[in-house]
Amino acid sequence: MSTALPRDVIDQLASFGPDITPDLREGSWALLTPFHEKAGYTAPRVERDLAYGPHERHRLDVHAGIGTSDPSPVVLFAHGGGFVAGDKHVPGTPMYDHVGAWAVRHGWTGVTMTYRLAPGHTWPAGAEDVAAAVAWTREHIAAYGGDPDRIVVAGHSAGAVHVASFIAGQGGGSTAGVRGATLLSGVYDLSGPGETPGRGETPDRGELEKAYFGDLPGQTVSSLPWLLDTEIPLLFSVAEHDPALFHAQAAGVVAAWLARHGTVPALAYAQGHNHISEIASLGIDDDALGIALARFIARHTS
C-alpha cells in the first residue's frame, strides 16, 4: 500500500525554497519526523557500528527482519552531507534508520554506511569507502539474511557522488554482486568551460566541492563518462525543488545518455520535494520516490 503526504505538508516543503540551508534541513526533518514516528522508522533488528575498515568512520549499520528464510536482496545506502558532514544514524531521529526500515518492509536487508569526510579525506576517498563497504557486505551479509550476490548501492547527494565514483571505478574495489545503483540528486560532471567529459557546463565549484575535489581537473574527477558505459543498471533522481545545480546535472546525464545510447536513462522525479525531503520521503510518501526506487530494486534483484 502506497503512502502520501498531505497537500499542506507538500506546500510547506516547497515554501523552504531550493537553497540547501540550515532552515531547509532542520525544517524539512522537523516537518516529516512525526510521520516517520507514526509509521515506525526502525527495523526489527539493527546491528550498529560494524567496522568495514580501519578508520573511525568506517562503520555501518545492518537493518534486518526476523525469521526470514531465503537470502534477501541488500540495499546499501550512503548518506549526504556536502562531503564534509553527515552520518548514517542520528539518535532520536529517523536519519537514516528510516532507509533501513524501508528496505526491510520490502523484504530486503538494509545497510547504512558512513565514510571519511573532507577536507581531511579528499577524492577518491568516498568511492574507496563505498568499495570497502561493498566488500564487507559481500563477505558478511549472509549472516544477517542478505544475499551477497544481490546488492543495490544507493547514495543521496554527496553519497550519490561517492556511489557514482565507485561504479565508475575511481575508488578501486570490485563491483561483483552489485546488481544496480541508485544515484539520488548527485553531481557527476565537474567539468568547466573547455572540458567535455559530459555536458561541459557545470558551474564553478563551491566551497564544499573544493573541499573534496580540490583543484583536480573535471576530466579526472567526473564520473559521467564511465557511467555512460557501465553494464550496471542505474537509476538517477532529482527533486522538484532541488537547487538548479542538481537539475542541470540531471539534464546533463539525460543529454549525454541520449547522445551515447539514443535513449534516456531511468530517471525518477520527486515531485513536491526538496533536496532533503527527497530522501526523507521514503516510507511516508512513496509516490515521490519510493515506488520508483522499489520497482528498480525489485526488477534488478529478482
DSSP string, 18-37: SS--HHHHHHHHHHHHHHHH
Grid cell listed for 28: 524539512
Q: Coil, strand or helix: which one is 49?
A: strand
Using DSSP bridges, classify how beta strands 146-156 and 109-113 pair: parallel, antiparallel or unpaired. unpaired
Domains of the chain: 7-301 (3.40.50.1820)
- Residue 119's contacts (CB-CB under 8 Å, 6 or more residues apart) are 84, 211, 212
Q: What is the pTM of this model?
A: 0.96
The residues pairing with 274 across neighbouring beta strands, listed in sequence order, are: 241
Q: From the DSSP assignment, how many helices (H) and strands (E) are in the chain?
A: 11, 8
Handedness of CA 249, 299, 64, 230 (dihedral sign): negative
Handedness of CA 223, 224, 226, 227 (dihedral sign): positive
Instruction: Give the H/E segment covering residue 113.
Output: strand 109-113
The residues pairing with 78 across neighbouring beta strands, listed in sequence order, are: 113, 155
Q: Which residue has the cell 518492509?
A: 105
- Residue 38's contacts (CB-CB under 8 Å, 6 or more residues apart) are none
The residues pairing with 63 across neighbouring beta strands, listed in sequence order, are: 46, 110
Is residue 119 reached through a cis peptide bond, with omega within 30 degrees of 0 on the bond before it? Answer: yes
Q: Give per-10-residue mean pLDDT for the chain (302 aa).
A: 87 97 97 97 98 98 88 98 98 97 97 98 98 98 97 98 98 97 97 54 76 95 97 98 97 98 98 98 96 98 94
pLDDT at position 141: 98
pLDDT at position 194: 52
pLDDT at position 202: 46
pLDDT at position 79: 98
Distance (Å, whole) CA 159 – CA 279: 11
Give burial (CB, 10 Å; 0-12/13-18/19+) of 126. buried
pLDDT at position 3: 83
